[in-house]
Amino acid sequence: MLIKSPVDEVKKRENSFRIISSILNQNGRNALYDLTGLAGGFKLSQEDLDLLETYAGPAIFESQLQNLGKAHLGGEKILAFNRTTSGILATILALVSSGDEVIHYLPKFPSHPSIPRSTALVGASYREFDNLDEFEINDNTSLVIITGSTMDHDIIKEDEFLKIIELSKSKNIPVFVDDASGARLRTVLYHQPKAMDMGADLVITSTDKLMDGPRAGLMAGKGEIVDLIKSKAHQFGLEAQSATIVGIIKAIESFSGERMLDAFRKKHLVYEAVKKGINSIRETPTGVMLSADDLINELNQKGVETEFSPADVACVFAALLLRNYHIVTIPAVGMPGASPTIRIDLAAKDAERIDKDYIVKAFIETFSHLNEI
Amino acid sequence: MLIKSPVDEVKKRENSFRIISSILNQNGRNALYDLTGLAGGFKLSQEDLDLLETYAGPAIFESQLQNLGKAHLGGEKILAFNRTTSGILATILALVSSGDEVIHYLPKFPSHPSIPRSTALVGASYREFDNLDEFEINDNTSLVIITGSTMDHDIIKEDEFLKIIELSKSKNIPVFVDDASGARLRTVLYHQPKAMDMGADLVITSTDKLMDGPRAGLMAGKGEIVDLIKSKAHQFGLEAQSATIVGIIKAIESFSGERMLDAFRKKHLVYEAVKKGINSIRETPTGVMLSADDLINELNQKGVETEFSPADVACVFAALLLRNYHIVTIPAVGMPGASPTIRIDLAAKDAERIDKDYIVKAFIETFSHLNEI
C-alpha cells in the first residue's frame, strides 16, 4: 500500500501542494484548474480587512452573519465553524456523552469519517444505515444524523429524510443534518426544502462547496442547542475566525444556483465523451466521476493487474491529472479519509475556463498513462 | 452568581459584541480602544485575497509560512492552527492516550483551561505545578507542558524552564511549550532564548498576542511529531485556513518588539497614577492589571459588600469600561475560562491613540461607578 497511515495522507497532500505551488509560481493561477468543486473563495474588500481584528471583527459582522445565514439555511440561530468537520466535533461534544449512541442515516455508504471519529472521541457508540428498512433507534441514542448528500453527491430522497425526522421526533431525539453539499444540491437541483424546514434541529453546510466561500462550516439550528454547541466550540477553538466569517457573508450574498444548473444541463456531454474510453464513468449531479473500485476494474479489463489498493491507484491517477494537466481533484488534495473517487465538478468556477474536450482528453490519456505505469 | 455556566459566558460575550458593534457603527473604529493586547490584525493585500482558495491558497503560502515560522520560533517544521486552543487539542489528541498523565508546569496558577479540558477529553489524568520543588514526573506521564507566560503575563524563570526540560529528557518525555504570549514577552523583554533553542520538542504561540496577526496558533517543532499532530488537526478540522495563514505570514514579516519595549518603559506612569485611587493595581510586563480578588478587596475596603463572585464583579467592571469609555478588556470578551483579571496592555496598537490620563480616569471612575452599583 502507498498510503498506509493518516501521516502518509499528510505527506501526499503536502506533495500535491508542492506541485500546485510550482504551477502557480511558474504559470500563474489561470494555469490551474481546480475541478474539485471545493475551491471556494474569499471576496473581501480592503475595508472589510481593516476591521478583521480578534474582537472588532466578529462584533461588526455578527448580525450580518445571522441574517444571511438564516436566509440560506433557515433556523433560529447561526454559528460559523473553522470547518464542517470541527462543527460536527463541537456538536457531538455538546450533545453526546460517553455510553450514548449516535445513529447516522445516509443515502449511500461510505459516510464521511468525521462523524464516527468524533463519536469515538467522546466514548459513544456509532451505527450507520443506508437502507430505511434497517434503520432503528435505541434507548441510548442521543443524536440522529442525516447526510443530505454524500461525498460522491448521492442525494437523499425527500420521503426518506422526512421518515427519519418522524422516527426521531417520536423518541424526542435531536436530528442534525450534514448538508455539506446537500444544502445547495438538494434545494437547487432537486427542489427539496431546506433541512430546517423539514423538521431538523440542526444543519451544517460547507461554504466552499458549490459556492464561492472559504473552507468553513455554517450551522443553523434551534437557539438553545446552538448556544450549547457554541460554548463547546469556544472551549476547544473550533469556531470560524473573523476573516472566514466575512468570507461566508460575501459567499452567501453572491450565491446563485446558476453554475450548478448549467453543469446539471451540460454534464452529459462530458459523460458521453469519456464513456467512449472509460466505460464505468458515471454522472454526478454536476459532473462526472470514476470510483476507485471502477478504476481498478477498468485496468483489470485491459489486462493490467496491480497489488496497490483502489485508493492508492486513484491517488496516482489524481497525481498524474494534476502534474500533467493541472487539474485538481480530491484524491490528490483531500483531508484524511476523504473520498478516493475521481470526481470532476463542472459547477466549479474553473470549469468555466476549460474546454470540455480538454477534460475528456486529460481523463482518457491519464487512464492510458496509468495503464503503462 | 451572574455567570453560572459556559453558555452564560457565550451570552456575556455576545452582549459585549453588541456594545462594540454599536460603538463601531455609530462612531467608527477610532472610537474603540481595544487594550486587550489581543486585537491582532489582518494585513492582506488584494492580490493575497485572490489566491485564498481551499487548495491554491495553502499551496502557494506554505513555503513562506515554513520559512517565516522557523525564523520566529525555530524548530524543524511549522503548523498553523485555527486557535492556540485547537493546537493544544490536536497535540494532546496525537500524543496522549487514555490512562496517560499530562504534567503541566507554569510560573503561577491559574493555568489556561484548554490544557486540562483536552486532557480530560482523551481520558488522561492531569496535574499542574507552579513550584519547582514539588514538580514530579510519573511512569505514565506521556507529555510535559510548560507555560512560558501566564494569561496575566507572569513569566517563567529561565533556569526553571531548563530544569523542567532536563527532567523530562531524562525520562524521554516530549516537552510542549505553551508560549502564547511568552514567545515574544520572554524573548523581547526578558532576553530569554526561544523555547526550541532551550530543548523543547514543540512550541505554540498566539499570533494575535503582542503582534498584528489574526487570532490563530502557530506551532514549531520536531518534524515527526508535527506530522502526527498535523494528521490529527486535519481529521478534526483544527488547522488554520488559508486567509489566516496569510495573516500570520504578514504578522511575522511586520513584527518588531518596539511597541512592547515602549510599553515596558512607560507602564509605570499609568501604574503610579491609578495607584492613587486603587491601591492594589499591579504592573504587568507591558501595562497594568487589577485581579478580580483585588477588585473585591478594594470594594470591601470602601465598605461595599457583594454576594457576587470576583469573576462576576470583574465582568461588570469590564462591561462598564466598555460601555462608558469604549475600552475593551478580556473579562468582557474573553472565551470560556479566560482570566477575569482587568488587564490594560499598553503594547496594544490602540494604546498609541489613547492618552494615558484617559485610561487612568476611565479606571478610577469605573471603580467608583461600581461602588455605587
pLDDT at residue B118 tops 70: yes
Q: What is the mean pLDDT of residues A346-371?
A: 91
pLDDT at A335: 85
Distances in whole angstroms, Cα of residue A275 to Cα of each of A229, A363, A369, B280: 46, 10, 17, 79
Segment B288-325, tens digit of pLDDT: 999 999 999 999 998 888 889 999 999 999 999 999 99
Of residues B7, B52, B87, nearest to A227 (C-beta): B7
| Residue B373, pLDDT above cutoff 70 | yes
Q: What is the pLDDT of residue B143?
A: 98
- In this structure, what C-alpha cell is assigned to residue A98? 460517553
Average pLDDT for residues A346-366, to the nearest whole number? 92
How far apart CA A243 and CA B215 sit, in angstroms, is 10
Phi–psi pair at A217, nearest 5 degrees: -110, 135
Q: How far apart are CA A19 and CA A35, in angstroms?
A: 16
Report CA-CA distances (Å) from A253 to A40, A330, A352. 14, 27, 21
pLDDT at residue A51 greater than cutoff 80: no
Q: Is pLDDT of A1 > 70?
A: no
Q: Find the distance separating the first CA and the last CA of chain A, reported in whole Å.
A: 16
CA atoms of A176 and A210, how far apart (whole Å): 21
Write down the pLDDT at residue B372.
81
Minimal Cβ distance to B54: which of A57, A114, A208: A208
Span B175-222, pLDDT tens digits: 999 999 999 999 999 999 999 999 999 999 999 999 989 999 999 999
Contacts of A35 (CB under 8 A, 6+ apart): A287, A327, A328, A329, A344, A345, A346, A348, A350, A351, A354, A359
Nearest C-alpha in A relative to B230: A10
Q: Which residue of B has its CA nearest to A33?
A: B56
Cell numbers for A133, please give them. Answer: 428498512
* Minimal C-alpha gap between B21 and chain A (Å): 5
Q: How many CA atoms lie within 13 A of B257 on its CB side?
A: 17
Q: How far is CA B181 from CA A126, A236, A345, B248, in A?
A: 40, 19, 44, 15
- Which residue from A29, A53, A232 is facing B34, i.e. has the nearest CB? A53
* Beta carbons of B274 and B288 less than 8 angstroms apart: yes
> How far is the CA of B141 from the CAs of A144, B87, B94, B315, in angstroms?
37, 20, 14, 37
What average pLDDT is seen over chain A?
93
User: Which residue among A117, A122, A235 places its CB closest to the CB of B6?
Assistant: A235
Determine contact: A28 vs chain B, CB below 8 A. Answer: no
Using alpha carbons only, what angle is made at residue B242 by residues B239 and B248, rounded to the nearest 5 degrees? 85
Beta bridge partner(s), residue A289: A282, A343
Q: What percent of chain B has pLDDT over 90?
A: 79
Å between B208 CA and nearest CA of chain A = 7
Best probe of the A interface among B34, B45, B82, B222, by most A CBs < 10 A, is B82
If we measure between CA atoms, which residue out of A130, A213, A200 comes closest to residue A166?
A200
pLDDT at B1: 66
How large a percentage of chain A has pLDDT more than 90? 80
Is a pLDDT exceeding 80 seen at residue A183? Answer: yes
Which residues in chain A touch residue B234, judged by CB atoms under 8 angstroms apart? 6, 9-10, 13, 335-336
Q: How far from A71 is each of A147, A220, A225, B65, B315, CA to CA, in Å?
A: 21, 10, 19, 37, 34
Cα–Cα distance measured from residue A364 to residue B9, given in angstroms and rounded to the nearest whole number: 57
Distance, in Å, from the CA atom of A33 to the CA atom of A330, rounded to the nearest integer, reads: 12
* Beta strand B202-206 pairing with B217-221: antiparallel
A155 strand-pairing partners: A149
Cell 458549490 sits at which residue?
A210
State how far the Cα of B79 lies from the Cα of B229, in Å rounded to an integer.
9
Residue A32 vs residue B53, higher pLDDT:
A32
CA distance B15 to chain A (A): 10
Determine contact, residues A353/A30, Cβ cutoff 8 Å.
yes
Tens digit of each residue's pLDDT (9 = 90 or more) over A142-171: 999 999 999 989 999 999 999 999 999 999
- H or E stretch covering B287: strand B287-290
Q: Is A231 within 8 Å of B10 when comparing Cβ atoms? A: yes
Q: What letter does residue B186 receive in the DSSP assignment?
A: I
Tell me the pLDDT band of B101, cut-offs 50, 70 and 90: very high
Coil, helix or strand for A315?
A: helix
Round to whole Å and give the CA distance between B135 and B133: 6
Under a CB-based contact definition with an 8 Å cutoff, are residues B128 and B104 in contact?
A: yes
| C-alpha triplet B94, B100, B105: angle, nearest 5° | 85
Condensed to tens digits (0 to 9), the pLDDT of residues A60-98 reads 889 999 999 999 999 999 999 999 999 999 999 999 999
Residue B122 has pLDDT above 70, yes or no: yes
- The shortest C-alpha distance from B292 to chain A (Å) reads 21
CA pair distance A72, A252, nearest whole angstrom: 7
Give the separation between CA B119 and CA A170, rounded to whole angstroms.
37
Which B-chain residues 149-188 have CB contacts (< 8 A) with chain A? Answer: none
Q: In the Cβ-directed half-sphere of A361, how many Cα atoms lie within 13 Å?
A: 8
B82 to A241: CB separation less than 8 angstroms, yes or no: yes
Residue A338's pLDDT band, with cuts at 50, 70 and 90, is: confident
Is the pLDDT assigned to residue A43 strictly greater than 80?
Answer: no
A292-302 burial: b if 16+ Cβ within 10 Å, else e: bebbbebbeee
Q: What is the DSSP letter of B302?
A: T
- Greater pLDDT, B44 or A339: A339
Predicted ipTM > 0.95 = no
pLDDT at A322 over 90: yes
Separation between Cα atoms, residue A135 and residue A205, nearest integer Å: 24
Rg (CA), chain B: 21
Res A66: pLDDT: 96
pLDDT recorded at residue B150: 93
